[in-house]
Structure 1
Amino acid sequence: MLLMVVLIAAGLGVTGAGQAAAVAHYRFIVGGCGMPAKPVDMWVGAGNYKTVIALDGLRATSRKSGWAYETNIAKMAYSGVNVVEPVGGLASFYTDWNAKPGNKIKYRYRWTCRLNRIIRELDARGMATGRSGKYAIMGVSMGGGAALTYAAHHRKRISHAFSMSGYISLASPGMRTGIRIALADAGIEAGLGPFNADAMWGPPWDIRWINNDPVMQLNRMRGMKIRIASATGIWGQYNVDPVGSAKGTPLEMLALQQAGIFQAAAAAQGIPITTDYALLGTHQWDYWQDMVWRAKNSGWFRDR
């Protein structure tokens, strides 16, 4: 069952030329797909030219999206871009799993199915804006690769795909082992026991790993607006937490390497993409927030 609940009737912001813009914040609940119902938060501005679905990172919670906890990207709704933030998806890679992720979760993740349902709900409320009538999708880390992969397999509904610090070349040496370790760690940290990567896409040689590897699916994205972003892992203005920054440095260095592989593969296939490589930054929300605003301010979210 889909239920729309209005949280905030309207707010006022200011756009270019001093014009007032009304922005509404909604929360609707999406069920089905064999998973517990979860909320989706949405910020909508009158007359906006695009709607973007923002996917969370590996340690997504069931209360609010990390985008809502950690960033101000909802403010894009005041100046052209509606923002949609699905809640949940802990260590899910926003994909349909083969089996339950672990013994303490009694259902199979089916996030591809859930995203399809979210888009149908957005359609019903006239959110497929712009000349294309399609959506943008973006994500960070785990959600970055998921955004590209979902776009590749759903190009009839997605026109823009944006990965920030994503792991987007799963065939690279060590990546499948790294994902196995990351899933186990995320499940343990959440008190749910280790998640099993084989339950997601099967053993490392299964074809589903290829089908969910953004580099391997590049040709399916031909003609879309594709953007990838990463920083270098060098500490910058937001690295005030030494422990968190130290953890984020190697993750971002790996993401930068992955971005380079994806960019090279796109160039070899003649597929144009937009890149955003920041000189400073680690694997954390402040830098991802800046990446979104640079994309917004450059006009990337607009249809061609």
Structure 2
Amino acid sequence: MNADFRAAAAAVITLVAILISGIGAAHAEPAGESTILSATDAGPSRTRISVYSAAMDRAVTVDVLHPADDQPRPSYYLLDGVDSGAMETNWTQKTDIVSFFADKRVNVVLPVGGKGSFYSDWERPDPVLGGVQMWETFLTEELPPLIDQRFHGSGSNAIAGLSMGALSAAALTTRYPALYRGFAAFSGCLDTMSTNAKLAIRNSVSWVGGNPENMWGPDSDPDWAAHDPLTNAAALRGKAVYVSTGSGTPGPESLTDPLMPQAVTFGAVLEFLVRGCTESFQRRLAEIDIPATFVFHPRGTHSWPYWQQDLHDSWPLLEAALAE
């Protein structure tokens, strides 16, 4: 790859991170015990809870899709992209997730918020994004026991996400292998260490108004490697791993995306670049002999119609892992 091409690729990553969505820390002293403040049922199988996070010292909204009975079941956490909805997760706004899981024996846990946070514990508070960002602590320490208690969780968990959430799901699984049976990553660059990956991550945080230096510090900070699925891939041994990406070539599904025309223009370029990251991750797992399911779609842009299909296609693998 020559220097001109690398420079062009870096510029494209910067542009698309700004224009489309989806894309160890210092801990604050907790102000109290994490707890469910309220629960509002939107039917027998859908509940919105408000959770007080001691780590972030604020309430976090979480939507839970769940069976109507009180029998034990596993839990499946799903993360948004960089433009995560402030009032409702994009998963429920832009996919058929509610109807798809209506007959499944699993709690589907959908955190609301986390825009540009990479669902990480940040090194320093960020005033624009809302003070201290401690999403990793919230998702791995505070929320799971509350979900298990309120929604009859069995203690068996999996996690998935798209774009930013895909990297986060992979990173959390490598950092907390005892917590998750597996993960699924849709259209995510599972890399925090390459120059282009760092550029994309930094611009994603900046696009939503955050200061990327507040997250994992400068490029030389060890936090970057600590959150890198490539570096820490050995922790995935024995896990169910599902990684998918499109080719960047728009298909007819792209025409139904509410973000048209971005889905067919910038979304195509971004998905092409994500495909390269996915190939690198596939090589890494092959090098250390970790089985995984990789899906390279012959077409597909960085857009919701493809992620909905990925959600459907990946579920049997994760369902089996959760049942073990």
Same fold by TM-score, threshold 0.5 exceeded?
yes
Partner of 1:30: 51
Q: Does 1:91 align with 2:116?
A: yes
Report the Cα offset of residue 98 of structure 1: 0.7
Contact 2:175–2:227 under 8 Å retained in 1: no
User: Which consecutive unaligned segments of at least 5 residues does structure 2 have?
Assistant: 1-34
Q: Output the CA distance in 2 between the equivalents of 1:186 and 1:105.
A: 8
| Equivalent of 1:172 in 182, 190, 194 | 194
Which residue of structure 2 lines up, in the alignment, with residue 185 of structure 1?
Answer: 207
Cα separation, 2, equivalents of 1:109 and 1:147: 17
Q: State the shift of 1:80 in Å.
A: 3.4
Equivalent residue letter for 2:275: L
| 238-247 or 251-260, which deviates more | 238-247
Q: Does residue 293 of the first structure (1) align with residue 317 of the second (2)?
A: no
Q: Per-residue deviation at 1:124?
A: 1.2
Distance 1:4 1:151 in 2: 29
Q: Identity of counterpart residues, as a percentage? A: 27
- 1:71 and 2:95 are equivalent in the alignment: yes
The DSSP-based 3-state class of the residue aligned with 1:243 is coil
- Distance in 1, matches of 2:90 and 2:313, equals 19
For residue 112 of structure 1, report the CA deviation from its aligned partner. Answer: 0.7
Q: Which residue of 2 aligns with 1:192?
A: none
Match of 1:228 in 2: 243
Residue 265 of structure 1 pairs with residue 284 of structure 2: yes
Tell me the distance in 1 between the aligned counterparts of 2:303 and 2:292. 23
1:245 aligns with 2:245: no
What residue number does 1:104 align with?
Answer: 128
- The CA deviation at 1:82 is 2.8
More strand by share: 1
* RMSD of Structure 2 on Structure 1 (CA): 1.8
Aligned mates of 1:146, 1:272 — CA distance in 2? 20
Give the corresponding residue for 1:160: 182
Q: TM-score of the superposition, structure 1-length normalised?
A: 0.86
**Aligned-partner Cα distance in 2 for 1:9–1:69:** 17
Decide whether the 8 Å contact of 1:222 with 1:271 is kept in 2: yes
**Gapped runs of 5+ residues in structure 1?**
11-23, 188-194
Q: 1:148 aligns with which of 161, 167, 170?
A: 170
One-letter code aligned to 2:172? Y
Q: Residues of 2 paired with 1:97 and 1:107: CA distance? A: 10
Distance 1:6 1:239 in 2: 35
Aligned mates of 2:92, 2:57 — CA distance in 1: 22
After TM superposition, the runs of 4+ consecutive aligned structure 1 residues lying more than 4 A away are 46-49
Residues 179 and 299 from structure 1, CA distance in 2 versus in 1: closer, same or farther, beyond 3 angstroms? closer
TM-score by length of 2: 0.81
Distance 1:86 1:135 in 2: 15
